[in-house]
Amino acid sequence: MKIQDIFLAILVAFIWGINFVVIKIGLNSFPPLLFTSLRFLFAAFPIVFFVRRDKIGWKWVIPIGIFLGIITFGLLFVGMYEGVSSGLSSIILQVQVPFTIILSILLLKNKPTVVQLIGIILAFCGIGLLVYANYQSSTVVGLVLIVVAGFSWAIANLLMKLAGKIDMFKLIVWISIVPPIPLFLLSLFFEKGQIEAITHISILGIGSILFVSWISTIFAFSIWGKLLSKYQAQQITPFALLVPIFGIIFGNILLQEKLDMIEIIACGLVFFGLLIIVLSSNIKNMINVIKV
């Protein structure tokens, strides 16, 4: 990879990592479902009027918009609102990786490698340890919601795989028109304080909306999509492992979030499980070389 492209990949991971901190800050200004609705509203409009959908059919836009936009990020925002820290959220959501492999095994009949299975086991052991560490607090509800969000993201990943080769930037723009209205209606039904949140919006509230919609969604995904079209997936996806690292670091620095020893061990299990999964093909090749 070119040096400037390595820098761009790290920049995207940095944006997505600090995005969890920005979400946590934004939740001080908005109810979670309303905040998620505003995120996609500003991600979609007005840019959707200038981006052609081309060959991306509605049969893909709508279900991906539902699973990725409404369910995944709706549950993520609610889970963080329930007390899960930005750092923990950034690593728990990555269970979408092992969930994607499991769904591929069950639905697409893809055969997993032993290395991938080891990674999946480690990742879920870490998640189980996190739940155990927090089972007596209300945070466990948030943890479960974010795990379900990761499962929903895995379904969206599978749909994107079935959709074939599509422009990631255009897809993100068009699926962003799906969540705003359903999430707003859910907010009206389940939440309170929407009018107060909008009429008394602060600078931090405005900034958090603009960051999660324009910077994290449109800007970062457009760069990521270009990198994926330019290089092989196995060259780009390892950079996503930096996301929870940045999330935990900046959650600690900016929000003074602290992890106890059990949570640190659990995060380590999840991270190394993800590392093994992402690098499974390289590890397999190394083992074959050693055998030779």
Q: What is the pLDDT of residues 245-275, one digit of tens each?
A: 898 889 988 998 887 888 889 888 988 888 8
Torsional sign, CA 273, 275, 279, 284: negative
Which pair of structure tokens corresponds to residue 259? 């992890």
Backbone φ and ψ for 258, nearest 5 degrees, come out as -115, 140
Average pLDDT for 59-74:
95
CB-neighbour burial class of residue 187 (10 A; exposed 0-12, middle 13-18, buried 19+): buried
Cβ atoms of 96 and 229 within 8 Å: the answer is: no
CA angle 209, 210, 212 (to 5 degrees): 65
Other CB atoms within a 10 A radius of the CB of residue 245 amount to 17
pTM of this prediction?
A: 0.89
Q: How far apart are CA 97 and CA 195, in angstroms?
A: 37
| pLDDT one-digit tens code per residue, 212-246 | 999 999 999 889 888 877 877 667 777 888 888 89
